[in-house]
Chains A and B, each alone.
Chain A
Amino acid sequence: MSLLEVSSLTVRFAGLVAVDAVDLAVEAGSIHALIGPNGAGKTTTFNLITGLIPPTSGSIRLDGVDITALPAFRRAGCGMARSFQNIRIFAGLTVLENVLTGLHAGLGSNLLDVVLRLPGFRRQERDAVARARAALEIVGLAGRADDAATALAYGDQRRLEIARAIVARPRLLLLDEPAAGMNPAETEALAALVRRIRDAGTTVLLVEHDMGFVMGIADRVTVLNFGRRIADGAPAAVRRDPAVITAYLGAKVAARLEAAG
């Protein structure tokens, strides 16, 4: 059984069908890429999966459990985490505190504990900090823990988002265009990081426009265009799929490529 099973997921915004009966199955332990031209509905699909917008119809199952109606904050507790296409770090917090927010769902934040500060609670807090530091270590930001989050460069802010998302060791990690704005060296390091995250037991679903990155890293690729799924399969097969080539390059170029063999 797949870790994430999305079936005929649909959302309509005032006339526009942004996601149209999309099926998607993400196998546990895989790196799965969701690609498609601009405006294809990839981010919207992520928003649906993480519960930020309600679907018009369709269902979402995580590990066999129907989570379609669950509010966003509960999905974190179910082992789901994500990063955002337009970076959304907490500007007022330090780098370390940003990562600590990623542990919120797992920490018992009970008013009585906070006021009494019993030893068990303090130990839990210390553990949390240790885990946050470890996550920063993994993404290579250990030295910046006490800096203001906004002091980080753009690429580092992206890695901070990843640290915040993986600190709770989620079962499913969704990354929305993690390589955007990175240079080739950084992109390569990112690929290694994503593989490490997968090897540590987190299934990864990612959206990315950098095809070299996607083809090199993904076990499976799903292609969206105008909200519809137009292809799904192994990277090599998807790359040759005429529907995909048409979607990316337009019908004329696709026909010429076909004619050229």
Chain B
Amino acid sequence: MPVWLDDFLWTYQNVVYALGINGLLALSMYVVLAVGQLSLGQAAFMGMGAYSSALLTLKLHLPFAVVLPAATIPPVLFALAIGTPTLRLSGVYLAIATIGLGEVLRAVYLNVDALGGALGISGIPERAGMVSIYGLLIVALAVLWLVARSGIGRAMEAMREDEIAAAVMGVNVRRYRLGALLASAVLAGAAGALSAHVSSFIGPNEYGFEPAVTILSYALLGGISSPFAPVAGAWILTLLPEALRGFADLRLVFNGLIIVVVVLFLPNGLLPLRMRRWVK
């Protein structure tokens, strides 16, 4: 690694890590929005990934290569438990149940001693880094890009626009929705494990309502025209408060207002470029 790059990373390490992790979180929101659903469980899934990975590392001393995939199992199980009944219903049920999940888990983290209570868990070794964070981000982007450009992406867009017509075309709407939610749980759970292993500390208040809505603002700001768009949204919203430090207090106000403005006035996000599919 060249010296200047090394210096740069040393100075801005936290921001660089945050960009990668928030990019993964934006993708975990993207996959659900791409099938026309709204889940607000991403922060909760992230928290489950963070807590379970921290426990696996600290209590069982497992290597990170095992911890990272294992940490996605609890979020996937919760996604199944909540997604299976709600994805048959209208979209508001999934949204409501997943917001509820975040609230409940915060109470659980706070009250269960084995999870550190209000103090959270500290002393997590720094096992994640550039390679694991950006490697995962690149793989996720590549897979989602291939999917979006394929017939699966076409079916996802079709069911987002008209689920009845899509079903008549033979799209198994419920399976797509559940698949998207599970993929979302995997991405967010992995992001949680990565963030726990770069920041050394995790606490009960980091995975509640505010981060859940913030993740939504990433995806809505960028839009869902391609998987790159939500990542761009995440990067803008991660860098902006860094640039405008004086306004750090108003970061959440700003994220909330972005959602309002985008939904009301820019329904396709900032990057409404249409992606061409392989149609020749």
Residues of A within 8 A of B (CB): 50, 52, 71-74, 76-77, 81-82, 84, 88-94, 96-97, 100-107, 109, 111, 114-115, 117, 125-126, 128-129, 164
Q: Using Cβ atoms and an 8 Å threshold, which residues of chain A touch B147? A: 111, 114-115
On whether A91 and B165 interact (CB within 8 A), knowing A73-B171, A114-B146, the answer reads: no
What is the minimal beta-carbon distance from A123 to any residue of chain B, in angstroms?
12
On whether A90 and B150 interact (CB within 8 A), knowing A105-B169, A164-B169, the answer reads: no
**B245 at interface (Cβ–Cβ under 8 A)?**
no
Q: Using Cβ atoms and an 8 Å threshold, which residues of chain B touch A92? A: 157, 160-161
Known: A97-B279, A106-B170. 16 other contacts (CB 8 A): A52-B164, A72-B164, A76-B168, A81-B168, A84-B165, A88-B165, A91-B161, A101-B154, A102-B169, A104-B154, A104-B158, A109-B152, A111-B152, A115-B147, A125-B150, A129-B279
Count residues of chain B with CB under 8 A from any CB of chain A: 27
| B-side interface mostly | helix
**B59 at interface (Cβ–Cβ under 8 A)?**
no
| Residue among A50, A91, A100 with the highest chain B CB neighbour number at 10 A | A100
The answer to whether A52 and B167 touch across the interface, beta carbons within 8 angstroms, is: yes
The answer to whether A105 and B170 touch across the interface, beta carbons within 8 angstroms, is: yes
What is the minimal beta-carbon distance from B62 to any residue of chain A, in angstroms?
28
Who on chain B is nearest to A161 by CB? B165
Could you name 27 residue pairs across A and B whose Cβ atoms are closer than 8 Å? A52-B164, A71-B167, A72-B167, A72-B168, A76-B168, A81-B168, A84-B165, A88-B162, A88-B165, A90-B165, A93-B154, A93-B161, A94-B279, A97-B277, A101-B155, A101-B171, A104-B151, A104-B154, A104-B158, A104-B170, A104-B171, A109-B152, A111-B147, A117-B146, A125-B278, A126-B280, A129-B280
Who on chain B is nearest to A91 by CB? B161
Q: Which of A71, A88, A100 contacts B279 (CB 8 A)?
A: A100
Cα–Cα, bound, A126→B154 (Å):
15
Q: Using Cβ atoms and an 8 Å threshold, which residues of chain B touch A74? A: 170
**B273 at interface (Cβ–Cβ under 8 A)?**
no
Cα–Cα, bound, A125→B146 (Å):
14
Interface string of B238-280 (1 = CB under 8 A from A): 0000000000000000000000000000000000000001111
Q: Using Cβ atoms and an 8 Å threshold, which residues of chain B touch A103? A: 151
Q: Which of A52, A76, A84, A90 contacts B157 (CB 8 A)?
A: A90
Cα–Cα, bound, A88→B278 (Å):
24
Q: Using Cβ atoms and an 8 Å threshold, which residues of chain A touch B143? A: 115
Cα–Cα, bound, A72→B171 (Å):
9
Cα–Cα, bound, A217→B217 (Å):
55
What is the minimal beta-carbon distance from A69 to any residue of chain B, in angstroms?
15
Cα–Cα, bound, A115→B152 (Å):
11
**B122 at interface (Cβ–Cβ under 8 A)?**
no
**B185 at interface (Cβ–Cβ under 8 A)?**
no
Q: Which 8 A-B pairs have the closest CB atoms?
A: A105-B170, A76-B170, A88-B165, A114-B150, A72-B167, A104-B170, A101-B169, A73-B167
Contact residues of B between 145 and 204, Cβ < 8 Å to A: 146-147, 150-152, 154-155, 157-158, 160-162, 164-173
Who on chain B is nearest to A47 by CB? B164
Cα–Cα, bound, A73→B155 (Å):
12
Q: Using Cβ atoms and an 8 Å threshold, which residues of chain B touch A89? A: 165
What is the minimal beta-carbon distance from B237 to any residue of chain A, in angstroms?
25
What is the minimal beta-carbon distance from A17 to any residue of chain B, in angstroms?
23
What is the minimal beta-carbon distance from A176 to any residue of chain B, in angstroms?
11
Cα–Cα, bound, A43→B18 (Å):
53
Q: Using Cβ atoms and an 8 Å threshold, which residues of chain B touch A81? A: 168
On whether A104 and B169 interact (CB within 8 A), knowing A88-B162, A129-B279, A129-B280, the answer reads: yes
The answer to whether A76 and B152 touch across the interface, beta carbons within 8 angstroms, is: no
| Residue among A74, A93, A97, A104 with the highest chain B CB neighbour number at 10 A | A104
Cα–Cα, bound, A73→B278 (Å):
24
Q: Using Cβ atoms and an 8 Å threshold, which residues of chain A touch B165? A: 84, 88-90
What is the minimal beta-carbon distance from A80 to any residue of chain B, in angstroms?
9
On whether A109 and B158 interact (CB within 8 A), knowing A76-B170, A114-B150, the answer reads: no
Q: Using Cβ atoms and an 8 Å threshold, which residues of chain B touch A96? A: 279
The answer to whether A76 and B169 touch across the interface, beta carbons within 8 angstroms, is: yes
On whether A97 and B146 interact (CB within 8 A), knowing A52-B164, A105-B170, the answer reads: no
The answer to whether B168 and A82 touch across the interface, beta carbons within 8 angstroms, is: yes
The answer to whether B146 and A115 touch across the interface, beta carbons within 8 angstroms, is: yes
The answer to whether B152 and A90 touch across the interface, beta carbons within 8 angstroms, is: no
The answer to whether A90 and B162 touch across the interface, beta carbons within 8 angstroms, is: yes
Cα–Cα, bound, A44→B220 (Å):
37
